[in-house]
């Protein structure tokens, strides 16, 4: 009897388990559809708008993701004029509350970018916007184009585009202290499209609006503009190059860094700047640029003073400063080699100093190879005074010793070195690769060729003055490289940025899209057609 009960109980349990298995849902395909707008109150593209609340209803629960970054209201409205919900959590509608009176006869657009996503899979509703008019019609013109960086290979995302009407109120200063009539965004791509625009003549501006204030802040923002004012309607696509302007020089209040060194923090271009000590007897001094910060250093040897007065001058700037005496420690000479083990075949040996070097006694220096043979060399002080540059023939698979005997180097504070020996070696040629480039379709020379790495850092550069100039990069470490061609219009051997007020575009740069994979003991020959 007990056996029968046990068998019966086992059958019931098995039946329940099988029923439970059949009841487990297997799931369906993953939802890949974006939310759909079902209804809007008031309706999309409404005219004579006078409401204080808008609701946008969707077919499923949605949420707003990064909408503060992606939302663009055009024309720009102060955030006190409206509020949007939900700002967190899920809902089947978006509510926009209008808190202030809007301008008459104006078309307004709330462009949410790609911030509207469904609650579960976060499928994006791309470029979702809602427009209405306080007048009798909706402005319907549009403008589209592409925004790229001038010098950098990779383009920025979320670039704002601004339109300013050309009328009696227009001046160039409006981009610094006014607001545009229309605002757009490239979102996370290089292309942009501005909709619901009114017929007329405009200034078109692209801006990396870091602080989202709809104004150009040259100190930390990139800008791009179209040379001529544009007339809407316009069917042609527009290309804009983004660049960082060179800001005017300005010095900050100086500070004592050590007993013989004063720091002048600054911003802007410093090449033509003069630091002059006034109301003091003539003294030896050296001015250097700090390698790690935007600071000019004034080195001096005055031992006793109550205060020092300086004038800082550039062609368009002048300011005076007074610095009071303060007990500080003295700098001590520290020198280091550019390498402690391996020197690449394309490099030069250098010595770095923490105090400006004022004199080199070449008789107290020698360079030896692995056979202890003396090697002819030249040596000089870098313009910034911190680097001592050596030049001698480097051979593959060789060992070198650079000996500095006492008094070989003298710094600004009259300190000299003790005996020092630096040992290093070179690699075999087979450990490097070579890139040979043939560059065609260049209309005007000179051009500057930049070879960069994956981080867009400059690795090598060459200046070509004619079609016949070879473009060969030897002794490259195995890695991926990119090439950009700079059209050096003013022939100063560097890339020059632009300036909005002077209507100067940056020098043109062609970015070759494909990467060059350099491997050890390889020679790659490639042709680049400039477009």
For residue 200, the cross-strand partners are 232
Cα(67)–Cα(111) distance, rounded to whole angstroms?
Answer: 10
Mean pLDDT score across all residues of the chain: 91
Mean pLDDT of 411-417: 96
Per-residue pLDDT at 391 exceeds 80: yes
Assess whether pLDDT exceeds 50 at residue 8: no
Cα of 515 vs its chain's centroid, Å? 20
Residue 28 pLDDT level (bands cut at 50, 70, 90): low
CB 433, CB 516: distance < 8 Å: no
What's the pLDDT band for 68 if we cut at 50, 70, 90? confident
Nearest to 73 by CA among 171, 162, 165, 156: 162
Q: Per-residue pLDDT for 11 more than 90?
A: no
Q: Is the pLDDT of residue 17 over 80?
A: no
Question: Coil, strand, or helix at residue 363?
Answer: helix
Cα distances (angstroms) measured from residue 288 to each of 268, 284, 331 = 16, 14, 15
Gap between the Cα atoms of 452 and 433, Å rounded: 15
Q: How confident is the model at residue 23 (pLDDT cuts 50, 70, 90)?
A: very low
How sure is the predictor about 457, in pLDDT bands with cuts at 50, 70 and 90? very high
When pLDDT is averaged across residues 174-202 and rounded to a whole number, the result is 90
Q: Give residue for tokens 């890139």.
A: 435
Q: Is residue 319's pLDDT more than 70?
A: yes
Dihedral sign from CA coordinates of 198, 204, 208, 209: negative
Q: Which CATH architecture has domain 432-529?
A: Sandwich (2.60)
Closest by CA to 458, choosing from 492, 436, 484, 421, is: 484
Residue 29 — very low, low, confident or very high, per pLDDT cuts 50/70/90? low
CA angle 450, 454, 457 (to 5 degrees): 45
pLDDT at residue 363 in the model: 97
What is 399-410 written as a DSSP string?
Answer: EEEEEE-TTSEE
* Residue 55 pLDDT exceeds 50: yes
CATH architecture of 335-427: Sandwich (2.60)
Is 335-427 the same fold as 141-244?
yes
Per residue in 371-389, pLDDT tens? 999 999 999 999 999 999 9
CA dihedral 472, 474, 477, 483 (to 10 degrees): -10
pLDDT of residue 70: 82
Range with the poorest average pLDDT among 69-73, 108-112, 228-232:
69-73
Between CA 82 and CA 130 the distance in angstroms is 14
Measured CA to CA, the distance from residue 432 to residue 426 in angstroms comes to: 12
What's the pLDDT at 279?
Answer: 78
255: which 2 tokens?
A: 């500070």
Instruction: Quote the strand ranges of 17-74, DSSP E.
Output: 37-41, 53-64, 72-74
Across 55-76, average pLDDT: 90
Which residues make Cβ contacts (< 8 Å) with residue 496, sequence separation at least 6?
Answer: 489, 490, 506, 507
Q: Are 488 and 443 in contact (CB under 8 A)?
A: no
- pLDDT at position 497 over 80: yes
**Of 10 and 119, more confident:** 119
- What are the pLDDT digits (tens) for 148-169? 999 999 999 889 999 999 999 8
pLDDT tens digits for 72-81? 888 888 889 9
Cα atoms in the 13 Å half-sphere on the side-chain side of 315:
6
First to last CA, the chain: 94
Right CATH number for 37-133 from 1.20.120.420, 2.60.40.1220, 1.20.1260.10, 2.60.40.640?
A: 2.60.40.1220
CA-CA distance, 207 to 299, in Å (whole number)?
Answer: 40
Reference 529, options 450, 442, 434; nearest CA is 442
Domain chopping of the chain, boundaries? 37-133, 141-244, 251-324, 335-427, 432-529
Closest CA to 264 of 296, 290, 293: 296
pLDDT digits (tens, 9 = 90+) for 224-251: 999 999 999 998 999 999 999 999 999 9
270 vs 290: CA distance, rounded Å = 12
**CA dist., res. 356 & res. 296, Å (int):** 13
Q: Compute the 3-state secondary structure of the chain and give helix, strand, coil in percent, each to the nearest 5.
A: 5, 45, 50
Residue 148: strand pairing partners: 241
Residue pLDDT, tens place only, 248-292: 999 999 999 999 999 999 999 998 899 999 977 778 899 999 988
pLDDT at 71: 86
**Amino acid 87: pLDDT:** 85
Comparing CA positions, the residue from 303, 335, 350 lying closest to residue 415 is 335
Among the CATH numbers 3.40.50.1390, 3.90.1150.10, 2.30.30.180, 2.60.40.10, which is that of 251-324? 2.60.40.10
Among 1.10.8, 2.30.29, 1.10.3210, 2.60.40, what is the CATH number of 141-244?
Answer: 2.60.40
What is the rounded average pLDDT of the residues 87-106?
Answer: 93
The backbone torsions φ and ψ at residue 383, rounded to the nearest 5 degrees and listed phi first, read -55, -35
């Amino acid at each position: 009897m007990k056996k029968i009960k046990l068998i019966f109980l086992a059958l019931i349990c098995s039946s329940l388990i099988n029923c439970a298995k059949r009841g487990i849902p297997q799931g369906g395909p993953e939802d890949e559809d974006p939310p759909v707008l079902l209804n809007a109150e008031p309706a999309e593209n409404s005219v004579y708008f006078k409401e204080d609340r808008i609701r946008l209803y969707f077919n499923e629960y949605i949420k707003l993701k990064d909408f503060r970054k992606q939302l663009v209201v055009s024309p720009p409205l102060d955030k006190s004029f409206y509020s949007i919900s939900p700002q967190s959590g899920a809902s089947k509608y978006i509510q926009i509350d209008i808190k202030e009176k809007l301008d008459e006869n104006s078309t307004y657009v709330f462009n949410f970018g790609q911030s509207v996503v469904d609650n579960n899979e976060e499928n994006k509703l791309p470029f979702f916007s809602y427009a209405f008019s306080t007048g009798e019609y909706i402005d319907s013109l549009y403008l589209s184009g592409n925004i790229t960086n001038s010098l950098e290979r990779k383009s920025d995302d979320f670039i704002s585009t601004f339109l300013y009407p050309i009328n009696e109120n227009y001046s160039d200063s409006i981009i610094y202290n006014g607001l545009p009539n229309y605002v757009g965004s490239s979102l996370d791509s290089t292309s942009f499209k501005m909709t619901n625009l009114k017929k007329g003549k405009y200034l078109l501006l692209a801006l990396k609006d870091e602080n989202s204030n709809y104004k150009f802040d040259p100190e930390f923002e990139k800008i791009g503009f179209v040379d001529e004012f544009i007339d809407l309607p316009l069917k042609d696509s527009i290309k804009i190059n983004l660049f960082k302007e060179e800001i005017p020089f300005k010095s900050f209040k100086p500070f004592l860094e050590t007993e013989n060194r004063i720091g002048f923090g600054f911003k802007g271009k410093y090449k033509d700047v003069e630091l002059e000590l006034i109301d003091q007897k003539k003294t030896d001094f050296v001015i250097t640029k700090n390698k790690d910060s935007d600071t000019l250093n004034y080195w001096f040897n005055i031992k006793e003073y109550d205060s020092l007065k300086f004038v800082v001058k550039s062609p368009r700037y002048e300011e005076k400063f007074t610095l009071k005496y303060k007990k500080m420690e003295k700098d001590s000479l520290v020198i280091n080699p550019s390498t402690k083990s391996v020197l690449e075949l394309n490099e030069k040996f250098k010595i770095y100093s923490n105090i400006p070097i004022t004199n080199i006694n070449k008789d107290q220096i020698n360079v030896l190879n692995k056979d202890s043979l003396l090697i002819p060399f030249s040596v000089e002080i870098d313009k910034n005074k911190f680097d001592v540059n050596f030049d001698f023939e480097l051979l593959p698979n060789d060992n070198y010793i650079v000996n500095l005997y006492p008094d070989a180097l003298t710094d600004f504070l009259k300190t000299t070195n003790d005996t020092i020996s630096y040992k290093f070696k070179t690699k075999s040629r087979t450990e490097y690769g070579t890139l040979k480039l043939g560059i065609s379709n260049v209309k005007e020379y000179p051009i500057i060729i930049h070879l960069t790495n994956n981080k867009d850092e400059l690795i090598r550069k060459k200046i070509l003055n004619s079609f016949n100039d070879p473009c060969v990069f030897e002794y490259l470490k195995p890695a991926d490289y990119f090439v950009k061609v700079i059209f050096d219009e003013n022939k100063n051997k560097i890339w020059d940025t632009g300036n909005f007020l002077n209507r100067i575009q940056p020098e043109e740069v062609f970015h070759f899209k494909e990467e060059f994979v350099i491997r050890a003991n390889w020679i790659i020959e490639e042709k680049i057609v400039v477009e």
